[in-house]
Amino acid sequence: MRKSVIVGNWKMNKTPTEASELLDQISKLDLDREVEAGVCTPAIDLLLAKDKLSETNVNFGAQNMYFEESGAFTGEISPTMLQDIGASYVILGHSERREYFHEDDELINKKVLSALDHDLTPILCCGETLEEREAEKHEEKVRGQIEADLEGISNEDIEKVIIAYEPIWAIGTGKTASSDDADSMCGYIRSIIADKFGEEYAQKVRIQYGGSVKPNNVVELMGKENIDGALVGGASLKAEDFESLVNYNK
């Protein structure tokens, strides 16, 4: 059985003062322990997350990192730094990083390998644009991303990776993919993993859906066979919504 995993992606929101308040609220929530929960905060809020969530079962992680351990890479944070503070996750290849910061699959692949080398769980994002969906190129696009981003990963490591299918047209737009479309793409991603690593490993990999997940659609999405979790932007910024998302089973 794959354990459900609901992770908040705060993006570039919450100053340390605001983060401190939200993390205090999150630390007091009564969350379903059957569900793995986490928040990926801005880098500047990570130490607060470590401190405020230490007595809870909510994990924390980063939204990006460089693949080198240290050195002359002004402005970057490293896997060693994230490992040192006990981060669980690092989101890699988010569409906003691919689009605005020109990250390509070769770079993302290096980051995925480096995260695994440092005991961090990569949350690897993939997904198509609206034009690609309308041209029925969504499967091709996602296959290309997954194959390139997971190049060189061992069978033992693939089961530690979380994949987030996030159709770009659904991110922050209020337009969710239908639960059937989301399920079918998550199933398709599982078949790509099976082709590359074998069915046994594909059955272990957790695949999240992301893109306008809210308390009012999480139950339907999580009811789907191939959707094992959600990567949630906007709705993760309010403690009560985060609680409803993690407690979708209650």
User: Shortest Cβ distance from residue 49 to ligand PGA (Å)?
Assistant: 17
Q: Which of 6, 210, 229, 247 binds ligand PGA (CB under 6 A)?
A: 210
Nearer to ligand PGA, 49 or 197 (CB): 49
User: Shortest Cβ distance from residue 91 to ligand PGA (Å)?
Assistant: 8
Segment contacting ligand PGA by CB under 6 A, of 53-61, 110-118, 133-141, 211-219: 211-219
Show contacts with ligand PGA in window 91-130 (CB under 6 A): none
Start-end of H helices in the chain: 16-27, 46-52, 79-84, 95-100, 105-117, 130-134, 138-149, 155-158, 179-197, 199-202, 218-222, 239-246
Give the three-class secondary structure for 248. coil
Nearer to ligand PGA, 26 or 213 (CB): 213
Active site residues: 94, 166
Segment contacting ligand PGA by CB under 6 A, of 57-65, 111-119, 188-196, 205-213: 205-213
Q: Are 191 and 199 in contact (CB under 8 A)?
A: no
Residue 170 phi, psi (nearest 5): -105, -5
Q: Which of 233, 241, 245, 246 binds ligand PGA (CB under 6 A)?
A: 233
Name, in order, each residue with C-beta under 8 angstroms of 48's C-beta and a sequence gap of 6 or more.
Answer: 16, 19, 20, 23, 41
Q: Which of 172, 175, 195, 250 binds ligand PGA (CB under 6 A)?
A: 172
Q: Which long-range contacts (CB under 8 A, 24 or more apart) does 62-65 make?
A: 62/87, 62/89, 62/90, 62/91, 63/9, 63/10, 63/11, 63/90, 63/91, 63/94, 64/90, 64/91, 64/92, 64/94, 64/97, 65/90, 65/92, 65/111, 65/114, 65/115, 65/120
String of contacts with ligand PGA for each residue 1-30, x by CB under 6 A: --------x---------------------
The overall longest dimension of the chain from CA atoms, in Å, is 48
Is 246 a binder of ligand PGA (CB under 6 A)? Answer: no
Is 212 a binder of ligand PGA (CB under 6 A)? Answer: yes
| Nearest residue to ligand PGA, by Cβ distance, number only | 233
Segment contacting ligand PGA by CB under 6 A, of 13-21, 100-108, 206-214, 240-248: 206-214
Q: Which of 4, 35, 234, 243 binds ligand PGA (CB under 6 A)?
A: 234
Q: Which residues bind ligand PGA (CB under 6 A)?
A: 9, 166, 171-172, 210-213, 231-235
